[in-house]
Amino acid sequence: MLRRHLVLRAGAWLALPVWGQCVRAAAVTEADAASAIRQALERGAISAVSLLGKTDGFLGNPKVRIPLPEHLEDAANMLRRFGQSKRVDELITSMNRAAEQAVPEAKGVLVQAAKAVTVDDALHIVRGGETSVTDYFAIKTRQPLGERFLPIVSHTTEKVALADKYNAVAGQASKFGLVKGEDADLNRYVTGKTLDGLYLMIGEEERKIRRDPVGTGSAILRKVFGA
C-alpha cells in the first residue's frame, strides 16, 4: 500500500494553527503522525500516573486536589465553625488518598489505548488544538477507565472508612439543616474527579511535548512536532 505524505500546501496544512508551525516539509508521512500521536499519548499517560499515583499525588497538588462535593461545602464551613475541622480534613484527605491508590491501576488501560490509535485517528487529532491528543484520549478512555476505577475507589474508600467519614460529616451537618435527604454517590464523585485530574496532567505533558519536542529525546516526536 502506498504511503501518503502530509504535504504543506496553501489552504491545507498551513491553515492549521498548531501543525502548520510544526511540519516544515513533505517528509512527514501519515504513519509518522500516527506513531508520534501514540508515543505522545503513552508518554502523557505514564507521566500522569507517575505524578498522581503516589502519596500526595492528589492531595499535595492544588491543580488536581479533590475538594468536598459542592453540596457539602456549606456544611463543612459550618462544622469548622463548631470545632469539627479535624473531621472535615480527614474526609478530604481520605477522598484524595482513594484517588492516589486508584490511579496506578489505570496504566495498562491507558497504554493500550495509546497503542490502538489508528492512522485515521491521528489525522483527526493533528487537525485539533494544543490538547487535541489529550481530548482524544479522554473521549476514548473515560468510560472504560471510569468502570475500572469505580470498584477500585470503592474498595479503597472501604479500607479507609471513607463512607463512615462522609456519613459522619453529613450526619453532623443534618443537625443544622444543611443536608436534607441528599443521597450523593461519593464513590462516583471521587472516581470522576480522579479522571479529571488524570486527563489534566496528561494535557500538561502534551503541552510540554509541543513546546519542546527536541527535549523529549524522541526522534519521531522531534520529526513530527518539531519546528
pLDDT tens-digit series, residues 1-40: 434 444 333 222 223 334 344 444 446 688 888 888 888 8
* pLDDT tens figures, 91-148: 888 889 999 989 998 888 888 888 888 888 887 777 777 788 888 888 888 999 999 8
Q: Please count the structural domains in the chain.
A: 1
User: Is 20 part of any domain?
Assistant: yes
Mean pLDDT on 58-84: 82
Which secondary-structure segment (H or E) carries 150? helix 132-159
Q: Is residue 8 part of a domain?
A: no
In a domain, 1, yes or no: no
Does 213 map to a domain?
A: yes
Number of Cβ within 10 Å of residue 218's Cβ equals 19
Is position 4 within any domain? Answer: no
C-alpha cell at 44: 502523557
For residue 205, being part of any structural domain is answered with yes
Q: Is there a domain that residue 30 lies in?
A: yes
**Domain-embedded: residue 3:** no
Residues spanned by the domain of 206: 13-225
